[in-house]
Amino acid sequence: MDKQGNEVGCQIMPFVQVILLYHEIHNCVSRYNHQYLHYFNPKHMKTKFYYNIHFLIPVLKPAGLVLMVFFASCFFISAMGQPQDGRKNNSPSSETFPKLIFAKIPGAPKLSDPQLLMGRTEPLISEGMGWAAPAIYDWNGDGKKDLLIGEFGSGLENKERAVGNFVRVYQNTGTDKDPKFSDYFEYVRPNRFAGSGTPLSIFTWCCLGFTPQIVDLNDDGYKDIVTGQYEQGEVTCFWGSEEGFSSGEKLPQEGNPSGKKNPNLPLTDVNSWEYWSYSTVSFGDFDGDGDYDMIVGGSALRLSKNIGSKTSPKFAYREFLLDTEGKSLRVYDPSEEELKSEKGYLEKYPAGVANAVPHVVDWDNDGVLDLLVTNGYYKNGFHAVLFFRGVNTSEGYRCEKGIPLFTAKDGSKAFPGSWLRVFVTDWNNDGVNDLLIGTSVATTNGGQFNHKLSWAWEHDTNIAKENPGLMSPDRVEAERTGNPDSEGRRYRVSEYLKEGGDPTLVHRGYVYLMLGKK
């Protein structure tokens, strides 16, 4: 049924139900009259009970009418207030987005409204912490693109703590230019044909999951899967081969990510905490020598040149990426208040945030690599996706100031959820790049998309990293009250639960597609 047909159907249904209900009541009363008056005719059976019931008969029909009107109102209100079909209730359609205004970037794809990627009945999701880092890779080698989703805390529990950071693969059951998916997923494992072995995983914590980048980093003809980590700042590569992937190998970097770090040293110091933390990475040849260099995010956007070789990369000291005025790239301009709240804010976080995530692509097709950058996207003033146009200058690679790819016309939040990650691919093989956006949305009541929570800023709702729906009732209670005796362990007080938050809240990773047009 098409959308219009569905809506008409939904509006007609309450009336059909009401007519059926009235018919039912009418039948009941008629049956009562018929049966009771026949079998329990007062002439034969003058009981007190009969008279009590008999007395009610004249009011049953009017009462039925009143009930009918009441139920009709309920049905009507319910039908108007609910999404028009069950599937949409779980899959926010484009109507639920605010009107988006798209940046006009010469040469870049003209983006269309976001659409949620669906399996057969459900959205394609990631679980655990419910963050989603999408990527495209032909996992089973059938020539069709499959969808990978990097997870954060993949839901394998250890004393109620999520452990393991895996990558899901949803295999494409459609064609390469019109991908379709079932609800079924597997974790990416070393042998992609046997589907056996421990899933590819990295150690990471706090605020960053497995963020897969697909690149042939050693130029052997096989795509490799590379990801950074929150801390200690290692960059791990799973080398691709005919069979699948090697176990994770830490890429050589200048400095010592696993060494002791000083939190008091500035970000520019290779022995500081800030230098290494939140090492999100993406790759491109930025110095034109034919090998892959690395862009690193976190508190600043930085370039780490490949000082190894095309087949055996090694990454140099991370240098600030600069804009055309020679300043470090800014993802967010903090307010005066925020600058006052933390001394040396911009020295510590030159990007304006601590969680910048770069994705390298020549977005405007001018032959120079650009950056699409996301972040935590948890408070007002943050943008969903920023575009930094790359330019080659006499002083080397520079970027123009970042501009948001899209904003909401009414100034509201432009995208549901938070902790956004992007991946660029030509989804429909029309020669124009398309954009995948992974986001961590709030679901309640067994996985239903929660519009109110997902469209609010996590900074205001206090739901960041909250997943009470995955906990035992005892732990929910302990988090709500901070009772140190519960389960013999001390839990922090959850502000969200303390304020009466929904104990069924579970974050889930969703992936949206924004098709590009010339």
Residue among 286, 316, 308, 282 nearest 396 (CA)? 286
- Residue pointed to by tokens 């903090």: 334
For residue 187, list its beta bridge partners. 168
Stretch that binds Ca ion, among 147-155, 321-329, 367-375, 452-460 (CB under 5 A): 367-375
Contact flag: residue 403 with Ca ion (CB under 5 A): no
Contact flag: residue 220 with Ca ion (CB under 5 A): yes
Pairwise CA distance, residues 136 & 144, whole Å: 10
Most distant pair of Cα atoms in the chain: their distance: 111
Stretch that binds Ca ion, among 59-67, 128-136, 251-259, 434-442 (CB under 5 A): 434-442
Stretch that binds Ca ion, among 30-38, 148-156, 218-226, 320-328 (CB under 5 A): 218-226
Contact flag: residue 319 with Ca ion (CB under 5 A): no
SS3 12: helix
- Binding to Ca ion in span 344-363, by CB under 5 A: 362
Contact flag: residue 222 with Ca ion (CB under 5 A): yes
CB of 425: closest distance to Ca ion in angstroms? 8
Question: What percent helix, strand, coil does the chain show, rounded to 5?
Answer: 25, 25, 50
Stretch that binds Ca ion, among 28-36, 82-90, 433-441, 506-514 (CB under 5 A): 433-441
Residues 6+ apart with CB under 8 A from 173: 180, 181, 182
Closer residue to Ca ion, CB minimum distance, 353 or 385: 385
Closer residue to Ca ion, CB minimum distance, 110 or 409: 110
CB of 310: closest distance to Ca ion in angstroms? 9
Structure tokens at 361: 């692509």
CB of 366: closest distance to Ca ion in angstroms? 4
List, as one string, the DSSP characters of 326-356. Answer: SPBP-S----HHHHHHSTTHHHH-TTSSS-B
CB of 226: closest distance to Ca ion in angstroms? 10
Residue among 255, 382, 395 nearest 322 (CA)? 395
Stretch that binds Ca ion, among 27-35, 422-430, 455-463, 506-514 (CB under 5 A): 422-430
Contact flag: residue 428 with Ca ion (CB under 5 A): yes
List, as one string, the DSSP characters of 157-197. Answer: EETTEEE---EEEE-B-S-SSS--B-S--EE--SBTTTTBS
Pairwise CA distance, residues 501 & 255, whole Å: 44
Select from 79, 163, 339, 432 the one that contacts Ca ion (CB under 5 A): 432
Binding mask 225-254 for Ca ion (x = CB under 5 A): ---------------x--------------
Residues 6+ apart with CB under 8 A from 190: 196, 197, 198, 200, 243, 244, 245, 246, 247
Closer residue to Ca ion, CB minimum distance, 182 or 428: 428
DSSP 306: B
Contact flag: residue 477 with Ca ion (CB under 5 A): no
Contact flag: residue 293 with Ca ion (CB under 5 A): yes
Contact flag: residue 285 with Ca ion (CB under 5 A): yes
Contact flag: residue 289 with Ca ion (CB under 5 A): yes
Select from 138, 157, 216, 269 the one that contacts Ca ion (CB under 5 A): 216
Closer residue to Ca ion, CB minimum distance, 116 or 294: 294
Answer whether 213's CB lies under 8 Å from 277's CB. no
CB of 235: closest distance to Ca ion in angstroms? 15
Closer residue to Ca ion, CB minimum distance, 291 or 458: 291
CB of 13: closest distance to Ca ion in angstroms? 38
Residue among 104, 15, 54, 39 nearest 407 (CA)? 104
CB of 427: closest distance to Ca ion in angstroms? 5
Stretch that binds Ca ion, among 135-143, 268-276, 284-292, 377-385 (CB under 5 A): 284-292
Structure tokens at 339: 């600058």
SS3 100: strand
Stretch that binds Ca ion, among 15-23, 292-300, 316-324, 495-503 (CB under 5 A): 292-300
Structure tokens at 338: 């925020």
Position 213: which residue type?
A: Q
Number of residues counted as binding Ca ion (CB under 5 A): 22
CB of 286: closest distance to Ca ion in angstroms? 6
Binding residues for Ca ion, rule: CB under 5 A, are 216, 218, 220, 222, 224, 240, 285, 287, 289, 291, 293, 306, 362, 364, 366, 368, 370, 426, 428, 430, 432, 434
